[in-house]
Chains A and B, each alone.
Chain A
Amino acid sequence: DAMVIQNPRYQVTQFGKPVTLSCSQTLNHNVMYWYQQKSSQAPKLLFHYYDKDFNNEADTPDNFQSRRPNTSFCFLDIRSPGLGDAAMYLCATSRDLGSQETQYFGPGTRLLVL
């Protein structure tokens, strides 16, 4: 089945130690998104790639970076995780950017910062 895959499902890191979360998709979608979701809140968009074009949300901290080496893979790098970065990180894809386009989400990675 075509899907969005995220690895790992759980990630523990130390305060200030860089961490990378990965996302891959077999849907061949043009757009890939990264969301941060804290407990009992709605997901918050961090950034997205349309093909190779990177779009950062205005309020995304500089601590968060992303890479998309090819259509299938997208990475979220947190350069110096703080305790406030502990959250669920969700990757999503959509075929295109139109208002009618459905976003499909991966299972998420729960990040714990010690």
Chain B
Amino acid sequence: AQKITQTQPGMFVQEKEAVTLDCTYDTSDPSYGLFWYKQPSSGEMIFLIYQGSYDQQNATEGRYSLNFQKARKSANLVISASQLGDSAMYFCAMREALSGGYNKLIFGAGTRLAVHP
């Protein structure tokens, strides 16, 4: 079964509008971390925001916020006041604490966001 699901292959948004990128995850581990990365056409993976499974409040970083609904196992990224430079691929990822202390980052398939002027 997929661990990270991003159901939106592509999204469009008008400049200055807010947009929500969906992410659902599957884990039985109570300790995990959720991450969002932005990948512009240049290829660099840029870390945006992190949410820990035990965090009581939704994470925020500037125009980025994470709508964390633990019972639904969803971790949607909200970008407020979209800018043209937000056009990129966005990946949701999860790390869970596996036995032996080793875990790896598991990525979703990504959502390509296009911001229109």
Contacts and interface: CB of A to CB of B under 8 A. Distances in A.
Co-assembled chains A and B? yes
A101 B44 CA distance: 19
Given A99-B32, A100-B33, A108-B43, A42 B107 contact: yes
A42 B91 contact: yes
Given A42-B107, A42-B109, A99 B42 contact: no
Interface residues of A, number: 24
Q: Nearest 9 CB-CB pairs, A to B?
A: A42-B107, A105-B45, A99-B97, A108-B43, A107-B44, A99-B95, A100-B33, A99-B33, A88-B43
Given A42-B91, A42-B110, A98-B97, A103 B44 contact: no
A40 B96 CA distance: 25
Interface residues of B, number: 28
A88 B45 CA distance: 11
Contacts, number: 63
A82 B59 CA distance: 43
A100 B52 contact: yes
A110 interface: yes
A107 B47 CA distance: 12
Most B-side CB within 10 Å, residue of A37, A48, A92, A97: A97
